[in-house]
A and B are shown apart, each in its own frame.
Chain A
Amino acid sequence: MPNEARIVITGIGLTAPIGNNLAEFRQNLLAGKSGVGTIETHYMGEVIAGVCNFDPLKHQKKKELRRGTRAGSIAVYCAHEAIEDAKLDLDSVDKSRIGIYIGITEHGNVETEHEIYNIKQYDYNIDIWSHHHNPRTVANSPAGEITLNMGITGPHYTLGAACAAGNIGLIQGQQMLILNEVDFALAGGVSETPNTFGVFAAFKNEGALASHPDPTKASRPFDKDRNGVVISEGGCLCVLERLNDAIARGATIYGEIVGYSINSDAFDYILPNPQRQVECMNLALKKAGISASEIDIINTHATATPEGDKAECQAIRELLGNNSHTYINNTKSYIGHTMGAAGTLELVGNLPSFDDYTVHPTINVDNLDPDCALLNLVINEPRKVDKIDYILNNSFGMLGINSALIVKRYAE
């Protein structure tokens, strides 16, 4: 493949319930530390959730925090950290050639619910409804806040893709670089979802919201006693660029995006379809030009719903067969489901394995569900391995959207 079409990751900015940079995040993944706790939410009181503790004033003024949204603030934090990590001097690059592509599961629920809560205190007087509502809730808002804060004048938008969105932000960035629409992409996903009671209530009433006396044990994919999703906030943006450009400026290369796919179940609003998931992973492998047996790690999407985990395991079993060396892990067991950020955060949490030859485990598996007992599922303890060359990251979402992304260890 010509170097113009090879897209590499050269910077990472993130905030997760267990870390505000990659080193911290990785350290806690290898230490098996959960970041899930509780928060107070409108109408429902205390709920189990994963919350980030980055300092929003590190890169924003107080006024920006007041005018913008939590998703925007997470996005701005991640963008600055990614640019800094990539050692890019924004003053020396053409800011009209930077594109911002952010995956979101949803946006605007938090702000709308807040306004309704607010006018309720005034007997539903709509004269109290904030004039900031529209700029806060337009779907491009989290990406747009980055442009305002950093003076980036290239394209910016979000990609609404349910919980597959984190992968899809990266895919969009990759495609825009290949098309030569931009020279750098800030791509990934963000989520502010724990601030909306509606998503909690809907999962609860669907029987899919995690409950556990110990919040750190609530997110337990593949465990027999799993009972649903832990909703979390977070963000992760990567600097992507063409390989030639990265080499020319001496950038550190985390990995190369070599395969991706997006497909649709065309089956149900919420139920997964393992057959389409296999097709999705196979499509990504085909794009990468490799076989399933060459994948070293699959980071599963599994959210700890009884049906969802089972379906993904069925898909992976079908993909890999009975003789595979591929290690399987999960990152939601530490941080909950960071929704739009999940795809990017979970992929990025695995990238250091190219250097430390360690696969982080999925935690909180006390009684492995026999339906989820995949070959080489890494449980509770990290696994040292001889080689990691390819990582495949699954991210699936409601309305039957599936995505798979394959990142390869960088080699000339």
Chain B
Amino acid sequence: MKADEIKAMILEVIHEIVPDEDLSDLKPDVRIRDQIEMDSMDFLDIIMELRKRYGITVPEDDYMKLSTLDSSVAYLEPLMKDI
């Protein structure tokens, strides 16, 4: 999966988790949870979706690396290069 595909996938997952939020103006370099209404249980849904869809396990120590769209793509790109 390439960077733009990963970004689209993350946005799709976030939309499923917080369907009432408008994601069109989401800034890629700002913490996602500062821009939309999303709590820690919602964040865990992202982790769960990555596990369910792609078998990717994100260790708790790495959760911070998924705080922005850009950092998420950067973190996931090497893990998803063969997907």
**Which residues of A approach B to under 8 Å, CB–CB?**
61-63, 66-67, 122, 127-128, 130-132, 135
Contact = CB atoms under 8 A, between A and B. Distances in A.
A128 B45 CA distance: 10
A63 B19 contact: yes
B79 to A, nearest CB: 16
A111 to B, nearest CB: 15
Contact of B48 (A63, A66, A67, A131): A131
A130 B48 contact: yes
Contacts of A66: 17, 19
A132 B17 CA distance: 12
A67 B41 contact: yes
13 contacts: A61-B20, A62-B19, A62-B20, A63-B17, A63-B19, A63-B20, A66-B17, A122-B52, A128-B48, A131-B41, A131-B48, A132-B41, A135-B41
Interface residues on B, range: 10 to 19
B44 to A, nearest CB: 5
Contacts of B17: 63, 66
B57 interface: yes
Interface string B7-41: 00000000001111000000000000000010001
A131 B44 contact: yes
Nearest to A61: B20
A65 to B, nearest CB: 9
Given A67-B41, A132-B41, A127 B51 contact: yes
Contacts of B41: 67, 131-132, 135
Contacts of A127: 51, 57
Which of A66, A122, A130: most chain B Cβ within 10 A?
Answer: A66
Interface string B47-60: 01001100001000
Interface in B47-81: 48, 51-52, 57
A66 B19 CA distance: 9
Contact of B51 (A61, A128, A135): A128
Nearest to B37: A63
B35 to A, nearest CB: 15
Contacts of B48: 128, 130-131
Nearest to A64: B20
A63 B18 contact: yes
A66 B13 CA distance: 13
Given A61-B20, A127-B57, A131-B44, 16 more contacts: A62-B19, A62-B20, A63-B17, A63-B18, A63-B19, A63-B20, A66-B17, A66-B19, A67-B41, A122-B52, A127-B51, A128-B48, A131-B41, A131-B45, A131-B48, A132-B41
